[in-house]
Every structure is written in C-alpha cells, then in structure tokens.
Chain A
Amino acid sequence: MLFTSTCTNAIRLFAPLLFCLVQLSQHAVAQATKYTISGTIKNKASGETLIGATVRVAELPGTGAATNEFGNFSITLPAASYTLLIDYVGFQQQQQQVNLDKSLRLTIGLESQSRQLSEVVVTSTRADQNVRSPQAGVEKLDMQEINLLPVLMGERDVLKTVQLLPGIKSAGEGNAGFYVRGGGADQNLILLDDAPVYNASHLLGFFSTFNSDAIKDVTVYKGGMPAEYGGRLSSVLDIKMNDGNNQDYKVSGGIGLISARLNVEGPIQKDKSSFLISGRRTYADTFLKLSGDDNFRNSSLYFYDLNAKLSYTLSEKDRLFVSGYFGRDKLGFRDQFGIDWGNATGTVRWSHLISDRLFSNTSFIFSDYSYKIGINTNNNNFEITSRIQDLNLKQEFDFFPNPQNAIKFGINAIYHKVVPGEISVTGESNINPSALQERYSLENAAYITNTWTANERLSLIYGLRVTSFSIFGKGDFYTLNQNREVTGFTSYGSGEIVKTYFNLEPRLSGAYQLNETSSLKASYARTSQYLHLLSNSTTTNPTDRWVPSSNNIKPGLADQVSLGYFRNFSDNLYEFGVEGYYKHMQNQIDYKDGANITNSDIVETELLFGKGRAYGVEFFLKKKYGRFNGWIGYTLSRSERLIEGINNNNWYAARQDRTHDISIVGIYQLSEKWTLSGNWVYNTGNAVTFPSGKYRVDDQVVFYYTERNGYRMPDYHRMDIGATKTLKDTEKYSSELVFSIYNVYGRENAFLINFRENEVDPSRTEAYQIALFKMVPSISYNFRF
C-alpha cells in the first residue's frame, strides 16, 4: 500500500519531466535530417557486453558515445556517411563505415588483442578517459590487473586492490572495511549487480566476498557521486558480474593454499543466452580432520561463495538477466559453539530498448545478510539469529536526445527489514526465547542526471536525487531526553509511520579541458545515509549491527566538494592526477564511553551524535602501458568529529584519520612466461584511545582514559611480491602458477596494542602489541579451457 503510493508519487513527480523529454526528442526528430545509431558492443569471442567502450565519429572530432553498464550506446547525428571508431582497451580498434540515411542498430563484436601486443594492460577504457570524462573522483579497476597483484594467501581480491588507490584506505588487517575520504567503513555502498552487500568479508575480513572469477567490472566513486547512486555518504563500489559466454563453453578454475575455485560458463542457446556458475570454497578445514587433537578434528572453519547468472536475449530489443550470489562462513568449535554468517543476493533485470534513443532497465533486487550463533553447553542450548533483508525495485531510463546530452532518470524503492537479534531455544535451556524488536523501513529515491558535453572543452554531469526514508511499525519507539535516557515510549501498529525524512541531494561534476592533455575537474555532491552500522569492538565482527534511522537516529548527511587537475604525458603513457576535497558531515554517530551495543535493547541510548569534517589531497601517477607499469598514490588527509559528550566537546580525530597514506604498485613482464609484481603500502597509524593513567578498583589495576582517539597506532607498512608463470597459453587451454609473499620483510604491524601488569614485576604496567601476519607465502595454480 505504502509502497505503491510512494511509487505513484514518484511517477507523478517525474511526469512533467518525462513530458519535457518526449518534447525534446520530438523536437529532435522534427528537424528530420537526424538519425540515430544505437547498438551493443560485445567481446566477439565470448559475447560478453563491454561496459564503457567508446564509439567515436572520425569525421566529427569530439563527438562520440560510451556504452552504458549493459553495453548499449546511442548516438544521434545529421544524415551523412561516417566512419565509426570503436575502442575498448585490450581489444583491437574496429572501424565501421555507416551511411546514415535511416536510424541504425548495430551489434559490434570486438576482437581481443593478441597476447604479445597486449602485454600487461593496466588502464581504463579510453586512453585519456581520466582527463576527458566529466566524472570526478572515480576509479575503475581492470580485472586483469587485479589478477596480477600479490595478495594474502593467493586469494585474488577486488576489495584489497581497491584499497591501493589514493583516497581509499584499508581498515587494517583483520578488518573487513575500508575508508573513503575520511568516511566510516559503513559509509560505502557496495553493490553486486545492483544488490547491496551488507558484509563484504569472509573470515573476519581477511578475504572479501567477491570471487574475482565471476567479476567483469569494478568502479569506485569516492566523490561527485552520480545521482543514480545513494544511500551511503562516502562512496559507491559498483561491481558487475560477468554475463557468461554465449559463444563457447569455458571452464576455468584454480587451486590455492586455502581454497579451490571453479567457473563454468557457456551458451544455453548460442548468441541468445548464456549461463555462468562460479564457486569457491576454502578447504583448509579438511586439514583439521588430520589433526591428532580432538578439539581441532571436531572444529570447522571455512567459507564458500556461489555466483550464478543467466542472460537471455529475448528479442532484438529485450534482454533478461538473472543473477545471484550466495556465500557463507562457518566457524565451529566441536558441537559446543558455532557461528555462521553470510550474504545472499538476487537480481532480476529486464533491459528493454523502447526506442533507439530511450533504453529502459527494470530490476528487482533482493539482498540478505544474516548470522546465526549456536551454543550447546551442559544446560544451555540456544541459537541467536540476526538479519537485515532488502527488497528493492529499480526502474531506470537512459535517454540520448543528441550527442551532447545523455540523460538518466529513474526511481528506486527499497523495503528494509532488520531483525536485530532473536534467541531461540534448541534443547534444555535456562534461557527464555526472546527477540529484540524488528524494524521496518522504506527508502525511496527518484533521480535524474544529465551528462552534457557543452563544447570541445566543457562537459558536465549534473543531477538531482530526491530521497525519503520512512520507518514504520509494528514496534515500540522510545523518547529520549538530552542525556539520552529513556523517558517513555509510543507503540505503533503494523504499517503505521513513525517518522519520515526527506532529503534533496544535488550532484554536480564537471571537466574543463585546458588543452589536449590536461583538464580541471570539480564536483559537488550531497549524500544521505539512512542505515548505520554499529560495532561493539574496535575490529569488525560478523555480529556488527545495522540500525536504521529512527526518531532518535537522524540520517547522516554529507556535502563534498572536490577540485582536481589531471594531465597525461607521453601520448597517454603516463597519467597524473591531483585532487583535493573537503567534506562536511552531519549527524555522525559515535559511541558513549563504555557503550554496550550487542545486547542493549534500546541501542540509541548508547550513541551520541555530532558533526564531522574531512579534507585531503590525493596524488596519483600511473604508467599505463609497456612491460613495466604501475602507479604511485599518495594521500594527505584529515578526518575529525565534534560530538557533544565525547572528548570534552572538542574536535577529535576519527578512527580512520590518517595523515599520510602511500601505495606503490608495480607490474613487470619479465618474459613471455614470467610476470612479476609488487606493492608497498605505508600509512600513519589509526587514531586510537589509549589510557593516560591507572588506578585500583575491585582489587585490580584499571586503566584511566582521558581523551577519545588521542593517540596513534604505530605506522603501518608492508611489502608484498608476486610472480606469475604462464605454463601454457593457447586458445584452447591455458594455465599458470601464481606465487606470492605477503609482508615480505616480515614487518610486525600492530593489530592491537593493549596494556597490562608486567608478569615478572606486577608493580609495573607495560604496553604490548600483537601482530597478525609476519610473512605469508602462497602458491596457487589457475587454468582455463
């Protein structure tokens, strides 16, 4: 009821706009001498559509289009004969002659460059995309590049590679999250085929949930967020899964130290439909079974992932995709204690070409994250479950009125259900079954954005996103006083609205071409966030709790401006960028001293709210081609909070505040057979709260704290190296061995620093640190046929 009414409202809102668009398109048609070339660009060998491939018109320099996330493009030109130049990095340029005397629909297949030519290509779609594109604060990763970099235990990892880019910082070892431009780990929207992934980590953050075999494209927006995205303050990590090969059956896979992977794809009906199934499971726990120790033999520790996708070409104008992800971690100690957690997502998407200039995408998206803890002891047998579940409907249109404008508009409605915690009794137990109250909410958005190429020099992306968030019953909602103590509560019936928030989020990003090789880019974006992640400890846990905005938790807001200078050298061989940003944040959450998040029935009483500011400058230099390529990224930044009730109401450093952050990445093709790679990272330690004194209470020495985040962890640095040996590389069969060493010089980076009484002399206290990984070598074998 609520859902449909909101949708209709959104449509009503957009009706005049739609009308304008139709007018605009009719106007274009009325000139009668213009026709549209539209179509799809694919990888010829696999039938996989290519995202961000460029179509340029040789006769009209500066006129062109890029394919959208579904591989479609549209360009409208005066009737004439043209030569189209189609480019996608790693593929041979294709030229196509067209005689434009009527609208055309093309399907263009690009052939990949031969191995010798391609060397190790580390770049985005067009050689000077970084300079030309009006989108500021964006990074695109090449999957090939991800596969060559050394990683912990040989598990290729999209998330880990993203953290090597400037402005994006790892939350640290044993920590799943990452920080973008001073924002918290929960301020990143992670999308897998449009489905939000609420916990993107396996094994408590050592590995990510993204099996790189199944991934086609990774884009990160750290500023100037386009209007089609929203719901998080800091960034969007948009990950698209492969569609599956619709030409041939392909099998690829690998065996590493801790896991095995298998990826199978192929046509269901050649050229028309395809499937893809990709699975991964760690098998390290099988070694536990060999252990002489009962405790290890009867313990479990593993995770698995399953990605699947079906793609159908229903007609010339209709395509249907069904994709899904399912992953789970299991950790168990004998039959006494067990925890398992994981995500499930599903996306059904229908792409329809309404006309050669208006494309429609309709998606229905499901997302679920849950954990279950089972405890079986002598007299207590019970389970604790918790979940967050989304049902999400998205309707989006792409409209290409003329070569100067590309309009995107749409609506999105998400129903969130949060089950914070439920105890169910599974046997003899002294514990009562009970549950924290479930929370229901609806997050709606309508947006419109236009990419406008004003002239040869200036291009802009401008848009507006309108969002609303309603939290509704059934449930009890508490009133708190200034000290955040409960003064009363109101019970709401099922479907009754407790509170609705509205936000207008303007988005703007533009590039001004200074000359052929350099540009200035600026952006402004307001973003809002209605879901917040609360963690009971300094590290991330599967039990961290998602909490929706409510009458007591206001939605977070962020305004970010950025200004950057981008320049390419030596015919786009080198790419350089410097970008500064300032971000102002409202309604930022931090915890009261000694907050109890896990089993607090009214979690709002444990939180405090205030504002934040983050600013910094990012430098990036990249060598894109050649036998040696790689990049250097450096970020100088600051991120602070001002929250009443914390740090004596003074500004304090956010945990993710890091003054310096450096990443150096290099890949070198030594020979036909060997490729070497290495990376070095350095960052200032996180801001952390240490005691400044001590006292005795309850016959123990207790540490005395005076300020929040007033200290620093020691600097973090680490070098990893890797080598890939190609064993065989033919069309039919290829295989390789990948060696890597994580933390090659064995730096003991502090995972945590704690304080204790000296064991020998209990009259003294001392600080000690724990490091997780000293040097971790690994080897894995990959194949494809």
Chain B
Amino acid sequence: MKLYQMRYLLLLLAAALLTQFLTACERVVDIDLNTTSPRYVIEGYLTNGENPGQVTITRTKNFSDNNVFEGISNAVVTISDNAGTTETLTQQSPGIYTVSSLAGVPGRSYHMVVTIGDETFSAVSTMPTPVPFDSLYVEEVTTFGDGRLVPYALFNDPAEEDNFYRYELYINNQKVNNIFISRDQYNNGRTVRRSLPRFGDDEDDIKPGDNILVEMQSIERPVYDYFYSLNQTIGQNAAAPGNPVTNITGGALGYFSAHTVQRRNVVVE
C-alpha cells in the first residue's frame, strides 16, 4: 500500500477515534431541511464580577436563513435573589437586558423570569463558592504534530465538594469559540492544571507577544450539563443528536447561570 494511503488511513482512524472531523472526500451537499416555528433562546448569567449580569433573548431561525439573530425587545426580565431583592433588567440594546444593581453573592440563589407576551420562562441558579484561580501560564506542548503554545489554568480543587468549572479564553481580547469546562470527577482535591488548547488552523496559534486572558468560572452542575451537551450538539457526533439540556422551564432554549468569575492574564514571552 502506498504511503500516502497509509497516512490517510492512520489519520482517518485516529480522527474517527478522537471523534474529530475528517477532511477527506469532503463536499458540500444540498439537504432539504424542514422549516420550524421559531423558539425563544435565552442566555442569562449573573456574576460576582465587574460585569454583574446580562440576559440575551433571541429566536431560532430556519437553516437556510442568514446568521443574523435579531434580539427580542418586547420582553420583561427580572432576577430576584433569595435575600429578598428583585431587579427588573433594563434593555441596553435590542434583546440585551442588563443587571445594574443586583449583587452576585456566592451561596445565594437567583431566580430569572422572562415574560414575552403571554409566555413565561424561568430558571433558578445558585452561585457556587469560588475556587481560587492561582495562576495562568503558557507552555509548549507537542501533542499532535509540532509544538504549540497552550495556556494552562492552575488551581487547587477543594476535596470536600463536587466542583464544576468553565473557562473563557481570550487571545488579544478576542474570545476563542471553544467550550472549556471541567469537573473534579477524576481529580477531586488535587492540583489541577487545566490546558485550554485552541483547535484551529496554524495561523491561529498563540505566538510570543500575545496577550492571553482567562476567565475561570465556578459553575453549578446544571450549567455544566448544559455546556457539556452544548459541546456535543456542536460536535455533531453524539449518540443522540439533540438540543442541549436546559435549566430553563417554559420551553425556551438556552441557560441561566449564576457563577463566580476570576480573571488572570499573561503576555506570552
């Protein structure tokens, strides 16, 4: 067998195994997809950080439509905590409702209610106790192919509770579109070095001089489950493709998360 074929087979098998996408014999096809009646999409969060919280409301569109998702501006959005405070969010721009006074406090539960016309959607989320984000560093890793610079979040996982984390990665103030989540199922109570590799083309690689910013969030289980299943939905190779598991009742897509945030940044040497 020719070498290139073998290479191809290896790549193919490795790829299939790692449930990555294959790039061989790829072609755009025309699939006649059904049209759907629109469903509301609510993306809400409340934090203990500088940006206290925001609820974004949009709608699903047909597959053949363009990717401009207009905000829903006729909604009434409130968030109340279990300390007796309720705030009605103000609409900043169409479909984007922001928190101005409500404080995000670890341990408190928050109740989001969204009313659009005669439909009501609600969700409850409890802000977990923050786990200190000790440091952020960048290291060269040769996992597949040549060495690449990969950021690492370093922290000590507390042994006494189940912890769930989410990380947002920014390179030169540009958010990276990968979902990074983790839990302490296999490393409870240990020092965690969580790698945040960016998957993409070589030109997207981190270079010396880049400004790396990581926001580490302590999230609760239902939010972890949402992002886990969102990742599967995006990956399109799940056993049962479906919509992510939402914590919002009332029939909307999306999630509501009360989480803690901590940011660290580093300039790559």
Give me the interface of A with B, judged by CB distance under 8 Å.
153, 174, 203-204, 257-258, 284-285, 287-288, 290-291, 295-296, 299, 301, 331, 333, 336-337, 339, 377-379, 423, 430-432, 434, 534-539, 541-542, 590-597, 599, 601, 646, 689-706, 708, 710-711, 714, 748, 750-755, 757, 762-772, 774
Contact = CB atoms under 8 A, between A and B. Distances in A.
A704 B243 contact: yes
A593 B245 contact: yes
A593 B243 contact: yes
B191 A430 contact: yes
A71 B144 CA distance: 55
Nearest to B254: A697
Given A258-B1, A694-B60, A700-B234, A594 B243 contact: yes
A204 B22 CA distance: 15
B139 A769 contact: no
B215 interface: no
Interface string B190-223: 1111000000000000000000000000000000
Which of A284, A430, A763: most chain B Cβ within 10 A? A430
Contacts of A331: 13-14, 17
A595 B14 contact: no
A259 B1 CA distance: 10
Given A336-B143, A704-B253, A595 B238 contact: yes
Interface stretch (B2-10, B128-136, B261-269): B2-10
Q: Lowest 3 A-B CB distances belong to which pairs? A: A593-B242, A594-B229, A591-B240
Given A204-B17, A284-B9, A593-B245, 10 more contacts: A204-B13, A430-B190, A432-B188, A537-B239, A542-B17, A591-B240, A594-B240, A596-B232, A704-B243, A751-B22
B28 interface: yes
A764 to B, nearest CB: 6
A754 to B, nearest CB: 5
Nearest to B242: A593
A695 B253 contact: yes
Nearest to B255: A697
A772 B12 contact: yes
Given A257-B1, A379-B193, A693-B61, A301 B9 contact: yes
Contacts of B66: 763-764
Given A377-B143, A694-B63, A764-B66, A704 B36 contact: yes
Contact of A296 (B7, B25, B142, B243): B7
11 contacts: A423-B186, A593-B242, A593-B243, A601-B185, A694-B63, A696-B58, A697-B230, A748-B25, A765-B63, A768-B27, A770-B21
Nearest to B186: A431
A692 B63 contact: yes
Contacts of B22: 751, 770, 772
B34 A706 contact: yes
A767 B240 contact: no
Contact of B242 (A432, A535, A594): A594
B24 A772 contact: yes
Contacts of B69: 695-696
B228 A754 contact: no
B244 interface: yes
B237 to A, nearest CB: 5
Given A537-B239, A590-B240, A697 B24 contact: no
Interface in B1-53: 1, 3, 6-7, 9-10, 12-14, 16-17, 19, 21-31, 33-36, 38-39, 41, 43
A129 B35 CA distance: 54
Contacts of A595: 238-240
B117 interface: no
Between B3, B33, B66, B237, the greatest number of chain A beta carbons within 10 A of the residue's beta carbon is seen for B33
B100 interface: no
B204 to A, nearest CB: 14
A770 B187 CA distance: 37
B245 A594 contact: yes
Contacts of A772: 12, 22, 24-25
A377 B193 CA distance: 12
Residue from B19, B31, B35, B66 with most neighbouring chain A CB atoms (10 Å): B31
Looking at B3, B68, B236, the one whose CB has the most chain A CB atoms below 10 A away is: B236
B173 interface: no
Given A174-B16, A258-B1, A693-B36, A538 B193 contact: no
B60 A693 contact: yes
Nearest to B65: A694
A689 B242 contact: yes
